[in-house]
Amino acid sequence: MLAFIYRLSDATLVYYIGTTSIPGSITYEHIRFAVERFNSENMEHTDIKLEIAAPANERAPFEEKSYQFVSYVGPSQGQGAKATNEFIEDLRWTSFFLAYERNSDISDLAPLIYHRRMSDVGIRRPGIRIRVLPNNTDDYEPFLKFVKNRLKQTNIIIHSSNITTLYNLLQQARGMNMTEQPFSYVFTNTDLALLEDFLNNVYGAFHCNITGLQLVKNDPMMKMGIAPRAESIVCDRHNFWREGRTMNDAIRKLHLRNQLTGEVKFTESGEREDLTYLGVGRINSQFVKVV
């Protein structure tokens, strides 16, 4: 859940974007990237600054269903893997290689891994090989060499919340001729399209398939802004506001159409319902929707 809290400090209006996601998770990294981009682009001509309020203890568990007052606007655990699974079914791969960033990602990828290991009557499932990405390094050439020469895999799925990791992987793969046919890449990071300008500035072309998922609609362009002033909220008062359950019920009964991430509605437990991912692919040096 994203909660907007703000305070006035040194003539700068600071908006604290609260999230229950722990640092290092995909959701947290998406928020962090958006906050840093907003601050870098707007601090020179506005008095508004964004900061993140998140759990300090990375080991603190978070069970979505155990919180009665959390309405989570992002995808629930495993939804991205389910969407990726449906997406690659149309690619008719006979096998693929899956690389993930950290051990905790396995639970999020479970729907993709489990479904691929199941054998339905009359249907042959693609083979799958799984490895964790190298940690604490920007040099992925040994890892890519292992995938190319030892595993001999050309269909590759990368699960990483770090957009810089995706860029480094593609840039170094290009230097190893792993961005030519028949190589094909699928990225689960929904910010993949943000790499368009960076990939166009890299010397050399990418002739392989680069596809992924996207949540945010960018056509037609949607313009958003933050109100310059709003009523302040005092968070340390000693009296109580007793209408929280009423507000929570109202949030979960929302049904909004044509929003930035599509249709917005929630289940009774506060999870996003009927979330639609868009398939995107890089065609003629730009990311476009693919059917």
Q: Where along the chain do its domains lie?
A: 3-76+226-265, 79-217+277-289
Distance CA 274, CA 85 (A): 16
Distance CA 289, CA 150 (A): 33
Residue given tokens 């568990």 in the structure block:
61
84 C-beta neighbours (distance < 10 Å), count: 24
Answer for the pair 57, 51: CB distance below 8 angstroms, yes or no: no
Residue 46: exposed, middle, or buried by beta-carbon count in 10 A (0-12, 13-18, 19+)?
A: middle
Extract the tokens encoding 138.
């920007």
pLDDT of residue 270: 83
DSSP structure class, residue 138: S
Q: What share of the chain is helix, strand, coil (3-state, %, to 5)?
A: 30, 25, 45
pLDDT of residue 223: 58
pLDDT of residue 91: 82
How far is C-alpha 73 from the chain's CA centre? 13
Residuewise pLDDT in 10s, the chain (291 residues)? 444 444 444 567 777 787 777 777 777 888 888 888 888 888 777 778 888 877 654 444 444 444 566 777 778 788 888 888 888 888 888 899 999 998 888 888 988 887 554 445 455 667 889 999 998 888 999 999 999 999 999 999 999 988 999 999 999 999 999 999 999 999 999 889 888 888 887 766 788 999 998 887 766 555 556 655 555 556 666 666 677 778 888 888 888 888 878 888 888 888 888 888 888 888 878 888 876
Judged by DSSP in three states, 1 sits in coil
What is the maximum span of the chain, computed from C-alpha positions, in angstroms?
A: 68
pLDDT of residue 121: 46
- Residue 90, φ and ψ in degrees, nearest 5: -75, -15
Answer for the pair 148, 99: CB distance below 8 angstroms, yes or no: no
Which CATH architecture does the domain made up of 79-217+277-289 adopt?
Answer: 3-Layer(aba) Sandwich (3.40)
Nearest to 194 by CA among 283, 287, 268, 71: 287
The alpha-helical segments, DSSP class H, found in 43-150 are 79-89, 105-117, 141-145
Angle of CA points 166, 262, 220, to nearest 5°: 80
